[in-house]
Amino acid sequence: MEKNIKFPVIDLSKLNGEERDQTMALIDHACQNWGFFELVNHGLPYDLMVNIERMTKEHYKKHMEQKFKEMLRSKGLDTLETEVQDVDWESTFYLRHLPQSNLYDIPDMSNEYRLAMKDFGKMVENLAEELLDLLCENLGLEKGYLKKVFHGTTGPTFGTKVSNYPPCPKPEMIKGLRAHTDAGGLILLFQDDKVSGLQLLKDGDWVDVPPLKHSIVINLGDQLEVITNGKYKSVMHRVMTQKEGNRMSIASFYNPGSDAEISPATSLVEKDSKYPSFVFDDYMKLYAGLKFQAKEPRFEAMKNAEAATNLNPIAAVETF
Ligand code: OGA
Ligand code: NI
């Protein structure tokens, strides 16, 4: 309970006033100690958020709920007798904004919903870039450093995962989304304003990220932990299922481009870094099979791959 009270909630509008230094310090503290924070007064229009939440719930009811129920039946999840460890109790679809939008390829979205998601995507992208620069400032990196690293040759990858976590008759048997860290860069989450479920791991305890109307939850992915040489943390989180209520969440992932070269920033490394250097896509290939495991073995595997390339550059070239 006490831990919930301390969960960092940051008023972004204070960056424009006397409390700027204090606010920057709160962001830095959250990045180092929580890997998560919740933003209020972030500049995203509330009426757009309210409309998107409504349309996401309507879209689920109209186009997704039936499919979700069929999925439950086909996977034998309609009767939960024992704990299920290999499936998530969620209904999702993905929108990609960058490098190329797939917004018009997604079936069953009304025009109004599509346009709202397009506007929202652009605004969240701008907020992500603003936040990356705040992180640079706190880290003593030049303005634009993170954006540049994420750019690669074709710009960042930016997409939105739209999820619904429907009510579950036996919440103790299955997670909405199993514990994981996010692979990418910065994640901006617009979560249900009433139904809770998101938890993060803090000093060995699961802590709720409580619903807060009109807020945006920010968390850092594995790439920011690597680039900051571990100063900032990518933190385990999960979604619990609930007996009552359908929780919606709209998670936008601002990630490096597929050929972006990721490595710890030189100014943040004292001697040798325990973090690897790699091409982002290679990390994603590894992550695909290991998402629901700890991040450390992933970092280690990339480090070993890097060492092998350095020891035997000819062989590495020949594999292409
Ligand atoms: C994710 C995630 C949380 C949520 O998709 O990686 O952590 O609340 N989502 O949907
Ligand atoms: Ni996640």
Residues 54-89 have pLDDT tens digits of: 999 999 999 999 999 999 999 999 999 999 999 999
Ligand 1: nearest atom to the Cα of 209: 8
Of the two residues 173 and 313, the one the predictor is more confident about is 173
Ligand 1 and 217: CB distance under 6 A: no
Is the pLDDT score of 316 beyond 60?
Answer: no
Q: Helices (DSSP H) in the chain: which residue ranges?
A: 2-6, 20-33, 46-59, 65-74, 111-139, 145-151, 222-227, 280-290, 295-311, 313-318
pLDDT tens string 197-218: 999 999 999 999 999 999 999 9
| Distance between Cα 316 and ligand 2 center (Å) | 33
| Distance between Cα 198 and ligand 2 center (Å) | 9
| Distance between Cα 197 and ligand 2 center (Å) | 12
Could you tell which of 161, 186, 235, 292 is best to mutate to test the pocket of ligand 1, judged by most ligand atoms within 8 Å of the CB? 161
Q: What is the DSSP letter of 206?
A: E
| Distance between Cα 251 and ligand 1 center (Å) | 6
Ligand 1 and 88: CB distance under 6 A: no
Q: Which residues, by Cβ under 5 Å, contact ligand 2, an ion?
A: 182
Per DSSP bridges, beta strands 9-11 and 36-40 are parallel
pLDDT of residue 311: 76
Q: Tell the residue number behind the tokens 């945006």, with chain if given.
A: 216
Contacts of 162 (CB under 8 A, 6+ apart): 56, 92, 93, 94, 95, 248, 249, 250
The rounded mean pLDDT for the chain is 95
| Token pair listed for 238 | 């999960």
Radius of gyration of the chain (CA): 20
Instruction: State mean pLDDT over 47-51.
Output: 98
- Residue 284 CA to residue 290 CA, distance in Å, equals 10
- Residue 182 CA to residue 201 CA, distance in Å, equals 13
